[in-house]
Structure 1
Amino acid sequence: MLRIILTMAFALITTVASAGTIGEDGLHKQDWFALTFRDIAEDIETAAADGKRLALVFEQRGCIYCAKMHEELLSDPEVADYLQEHFLIVQYNMFGDEEVTDLDGDVLTEKTAARKWGYVFTPTIVFLPAEVPANSISVSKAAVATMPGAFGKWTFLNMFKWVFDRGYEGDEHFQKYHARIIEQLRAEGRLK
Structure 2
Amino acid sequence: MLRRLAAAALLLTLPLAAAAEEPAPGALHHKDWFAVTFKDMREDLETAAGEGKRLAIIVEQHGCIYCRKLHEEVLSDPEVADYIKANFVVVQLNMFGDEEITDLDGEAMTEREAVRRWAVSFTPTVIFLPETVAEDDVTVAEVEVERMPGAFGKWTTLDMFRWVRLKGYEGDEHFQKFHARHIEELRAAGRL
TM range (shorter): 0.7 to 0.9
1:69 is aligned to: 70
Q: Cα gap change, 1:16/1:171 in structure 2, threshold over 3 Å: closer, same or farther? A: farther
Structure 1 distance, partners of 2:37, 2:26, is 16
| Percent identity over paired residues | 59
Q: Which residue of 2 aligns with 1:49?
A: 50
What is the TM-score of this pair, normalised by structure 1? 0.88
Q: Please name the residue that 2:82 is paired with.
A: 81
Aligned-pair Cα RMSD in Å: 2.2
SS at match of 2:137: coil
- Answer whether contact 1:54 1:129 (CA < 8 A) is retained: yes
DSSP 3-state at the match of 1:57: strand
Q: Which runs of 5+ in 2 are unaligned?
A: none
2:187 maps to a residue whose letter is R
CA distance in 1, matches of 2:39, 2:79: 27
The code of the aligned residue for 1:165 comes to L
Partner of 2:170: 169
TM-score by length of 2: 0.88
**Higher gyration radius (CA):** 2
Output one character per residue of 1:143-192: Cα deviation in whole Å (capped at 9) or x when no partner.
Answer: 0000000011111110000001111111111111111111111111111x
The alpha-carbon deviation at position 22 of structure 1 amounts to 1.4
1:146 corresponds in structure 2 to: 147
Secondary structure, aligned partner of 1:146? strand
Question: Contact 1:57–1:124 (CA<8 Å) still a contact in 2?
Answer: yes
Residue of structure 2 in register with 1:126 after alignment: 127
Matched residue of 2:47: which SS? helix
**What is the letter of the counterpart of residue 71 of structure 1?**
E
Aligned residues: 183
> Which whole-Å CA distance do the structure 2 matches of 1:112 and 1:31 have between them?
25
